[in-house]
């Protein structure tokens, strides 16, 4: 999908307004400056396998069923016969299930029948205490609203889409006379042309690198661009044409940007023909250096398309979905094809009851998947889904143009679906193997530490500071599916009475804030039942502290004060000289222990501790960076946080603010002429 929000490009003598550039941190390599933002960095894409939900295994008494049916029968009397969405709620007012119907009254009446319900639905009925309904004008609106509510409320009896991260795009900016090519995620508010989605950050990074070689479009930030007095390293290694210092003129650079847009818009064959023609022309004119440049650009374009693997001949824009089920789990593999090119694939593992068939899981998955994404012209499926025509109609309304949803039976489209199905099968196999390994490690951990049960949720705590400044605590979470990164938390240390470097006091604050919030979040003020079948319980079975006996005692004080008796607690102290493999484990009311250096359980504990350390260090560095950026503005009288942010957004760096004239400072939103004079006088004392 391509989105164009560009304004007409501006010539060099009419600079574009600031686009909130990031502050560059220049570094040197062989004497050449290089903007770090111009080198894409890999990011981890974390996916986890949810626990299979098997509601049929639990016994449902006839008395509970009768009470649930009675609640539904009361709702039937008030239900509309028009389309709408209904929500089943339990006695605690938690949403159990969200559904849509052409006639809400008829659908609810079907739940009230005394027989004919599968075990999963019977259990839901038995837990139902109330039903809420919303009428909609059409069934299409009901489908879209249902998907939105499922994503927001995450009811336990619905199929739930997990790991729903936003997709990265490539952006060629439109707010500067020399457009920049960058990776973009999130709201598409910056002017320019957006190309995507790409399945992973790695795919975007590789494509941007190849596009730089092919079209020599800059990737540096605007502030770095404006400060250049000589070409950077990317120009020397032929990944930029050097518009910052006039190595290429405005018309020449505009032509390069046009070619990049054409290529990403699907006209790659035309672009390659043009480059081949220019190469032949330069060769005939005996300009072999220029011919070699075109040759290298053609090779870069070929590299892009070869990295993309399968590129269909008859499909220009489509998403391909294939689902495979095994062992009570489901895996949905998604492939993205745009402009006739394969832009990557991603595996999803939705949470669903094992009794739900592939078509039903896939149908619910699709509605949630496109809740916040623009659908393509064509969607290809491995299984026919319920209400497929209705889904196509709803997505067409959302896209503002016709969207086709089909299950191909022959030809190239069928081959694409088959390829996706093979990937789904392999991805689920890998995840099942990883989950089995993780389960064995958790069982080994339970045995080695003598825990009362195998932990389903482990929380690891650490803190970081420099002589007490920018103190921050962090919590990471792990379970049977590995690290649960969407549940990581950081805690800015707020206690004013702490002495600088008081690690024990910091740990007390973090644990107290965490567990008081948990206790306060429980409906009855007590810890929820451990028998809850939530895939990821909110209460930990095991808490690991980075530290020794002192840290353990600090944590134990908090646990005793909050009456937490069924959460296991250990502290992990580093060995002599901080050697990995010689750690000591401390536990309340038990002697300390040391595991064998090559014990897999010890490696597992080290991984947990190191992940907590990585996360807290990253959080601490962000705080330090923010303080360093604002430090030069702290002492200016009358300049508060809002004006500080406006100045940094406008100029990009503290150094540029220092260099600015009074007139330039006055152009910043929210900075008056008087404030501009104060800022200027602060950096230039005695100049008046």
pLDDT tier, 268 (very low <50, low <70, confident <90, very high otherwise): low
Contact (Cβ atoms closer than 8 angstroms) between residue 110 and residue 72: no
Tell me the C-alpha distance between 106 and 324, whole Å.
33
Q: Reply yes or no on whether the pLDDT at 594 is more than 60.
A: yes
What angle (nearest 5°) sits at the alpha carbon of residue 528, between those of residues 525 and 534?
Answer: 140
Lowest mean pLDDT among 120-124, 274-278, 347-351, 661-665: 274-278
Tens digit of each residue's pLDDT (9 = 90 or more) over 78-107: 899 999 999 999 988 889 999 999 999 999
- Please check whether residue 442 is in contact with residue 542, taking contact to mean a CB–CB distance below 8 angstroms: no
pLDDT at 359 over 80: yes
- Residue 523 pLDDT exceeds 80: no
Distance CA 212, CA 216 (A): 5
State the average pLDDT over residues 622-638.
60
pLDDT grade, residue 329 (50/70/90)? confident
CA distance 169 to 39: 16
Please give the average per-residue pLDDT across 477-491, as a whole number: 86
Residues 6+ apart with CB under 8 A from 242: 231, 235, 248
Which range is least confidently modeled, 197-206, 378-387, 630-639? 630-639
**Average pLDDT of span 132-146:** 90
DSSP 29: E
Q: Above 90 in pLDDT, residue 551? A: no
- The per-residue b/e assignment along 524-538, b for 16 or more CB within 10 angstroms, e otherwise, is eeebeeeeeeebbbe
* Mean per-residue pLDDT, 304-326: 73
Spatial distance between the Cα atoms of 255 and 241, rounded to a whole number of angstroms: 12
User: Pick from 617, 615, 608, 570: which is nearest to 591 by CA?
Assistant: 570
| Band of residue 596 on the pLDDT scale cut at 50, 70, 90 | confident
Q: Is 535 helix (H, G, I), strand (E, B) or coil?
A: coil
The predicted-structure confidence for 370-385, as pLDDT tens digits, reads as follows 887 888 889 999 999 8
Pure H helices in 112-249: 119-127, 139-153, 201-215, 222-226, 233-236
Q: Rounded distance, CA 231 to CA 35, Å?
A: 11
Give the position of tokens 């605690």.
Answer: 92
Over pLDDT 90: what percentage of the chain? Answer: 12
Does 530 score more than 50 pLDDT?
no
165 Ramachandran zone, left/alpha/beta (phi>0; psi -120 to 50): beta
Q: Which residues contact 516 (CB under 8 A, 6 or more apart)?
A: 562
Residues with Cβ within 8 Å of 187's Cβ and at least 6 positions away in sequence, in order, are none
Given a cut of 70, is residue 42 above it in pLDDT?
Answer: no
Q: What is the pLDDT of residue 437?
A: 82
Write down the pLDDT at residue 288.
75
Calculate the average pLDDT of the chain: 78
Report whether 326 contacts 432 (CB < 8 A): yes
The answer on pLDDT for 320 being more than 90 is: yes
* pLDDT tier, 644 (very low <50, low <70, confident <90, very high otherwise): confident
Q: Percentage of residues in the chain with pLDDT exceeding 70? A: 77
pLDDT at 17: 38
């Amino acid at each position: 999908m391509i989105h164009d929000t560009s304004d007409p490009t501006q010539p060099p003598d009419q600079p574009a307004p600031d686009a909130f550039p990031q502050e560059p941190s220049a570094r040197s390599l062989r004497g050449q400056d290089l903007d770090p933002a111009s080198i894409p960095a890999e990011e981890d894409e974390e996916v986890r396998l949810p626990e299979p939900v098997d509601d049929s295994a639990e016994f449902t008494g006839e008395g509970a069923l009768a009470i649930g049916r009675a609640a539904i029968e009361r709702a039937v009397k008030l239900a509309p016969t028009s389309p709408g969405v209904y929500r089943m709620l339990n006695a605690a007012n938690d949403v159990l299930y969200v559904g849509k119907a052409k006639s809400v009254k008829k659908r609810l009446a079907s739940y009230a029948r005394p027989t004919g319900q599968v075990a999963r639905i019977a259990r839901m009925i038995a837990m139902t205490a109330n039903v809420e309904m919303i009428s909609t004008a059409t069934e299409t609106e009901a489908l879209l609203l249902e998907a939105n509510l499922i994503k927001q409320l995450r009811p336990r009896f619905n199929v739930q889409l997990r790991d729903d991260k936003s997709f990265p795009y490539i952006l060629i900016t439109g707010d500067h006379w020399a457009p920049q090519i960058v990776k973009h995620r999130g709201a598409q508010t910056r002017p320019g042309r957006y190309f995507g989605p790409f399945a992973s950050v790695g795919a975007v990074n590789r494509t941007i690198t190849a596009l730089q070689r092919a079209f020599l479009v800059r990737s540096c930030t605007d502030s770095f661009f404006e400060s250049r007095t000589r070409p950077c390293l990317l120009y020397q290694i032929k990944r930029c044409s050097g518009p910052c210092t006039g190595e290429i003129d405005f018309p020449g650079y505009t032509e390069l940007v046009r070619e990049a847009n054409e290529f990403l818009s699907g006209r790659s064959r035309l672009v390659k023909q043009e480059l081949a023609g220019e190469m032949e022309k330069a060769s005939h004119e005996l300009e072999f250096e220029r011919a070699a440049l075109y040759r290298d650009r053609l090779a870069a374009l070929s590299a892009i398309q070869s990295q993309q693997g399968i590129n269909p001949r008859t499909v220009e824009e489509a998403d391909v979905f294939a689902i495979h089920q095994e062992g009570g789990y489901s895996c949905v593999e998604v492939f993205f094809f745009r402009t006739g090119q394969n832009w990557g694939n991603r595996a999803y593992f939705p949470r669903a009851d094992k009794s739900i068939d592939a078509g039903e899981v896939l149908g619910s998955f699709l509605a949630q998947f496109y809740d916040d994404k623009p659908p393509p012209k064509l969607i290809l499926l491995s299984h026919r889904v319920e209400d497929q025509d209705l889904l196509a109609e709803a997505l067409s309304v959302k896209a503002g143009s016709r969207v086709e949803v089909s299950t191909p039976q022959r030809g190239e489209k069928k081959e694409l679906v088959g390829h996706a199905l093979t990937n789904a099968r392999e991805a689920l196999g890998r995840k099942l193997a990883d989950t089995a390994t993780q389960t064995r490690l958790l069982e080994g951990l339970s045995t080695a530490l003598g825990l009362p049960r195998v932990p389903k949720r482990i929380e690891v705590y650490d803190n970081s500071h420099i002589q007490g400044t920018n103190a921050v605590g962090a919590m990471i979470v792990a379970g049977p599916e590995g690290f649960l990164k969407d549940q990581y938390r950081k805690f800015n240390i707020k206690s004013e009475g702490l002495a600088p470097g008081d690690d024990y006091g910091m740990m007390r604050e973090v644990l107290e804030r965490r567990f008081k919030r948990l206790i306060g979040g429980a409906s009855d003020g007590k810890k929820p039942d451990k028998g809850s079948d939530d895939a990821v319980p909110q209460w930990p079975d095991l808490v690991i502290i980075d530290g020794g006996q002192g840290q353990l005692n600090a944590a134990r004080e908090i646990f005793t004060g909050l009456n937490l008796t069924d959460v296991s607690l250990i502290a992990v102290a580093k060995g002599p000289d901080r050697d990995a493999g010689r750690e000591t484990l401390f536990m309340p009311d038990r002697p300390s222990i040391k595991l064998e250096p090559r014990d897999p359980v010890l490696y597992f504990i080290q991984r947990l501790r190191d992940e907590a350390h990585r996360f807290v260090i990253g959080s601490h560095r962000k705080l330090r960076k923010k303080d360093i950026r604002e430090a030069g503005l702290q002492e200016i009288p009358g300049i508060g946080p809002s004006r500080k942010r406006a100045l940094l957004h406008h100029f990009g760096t503290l150094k540029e603010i220092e260099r600015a004239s009074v007139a330039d400072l006055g152009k910043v939103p929210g900075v008056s002429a008087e404030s501009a004079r104060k800022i200027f006088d602060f950096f230039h004392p005695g100049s008046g």
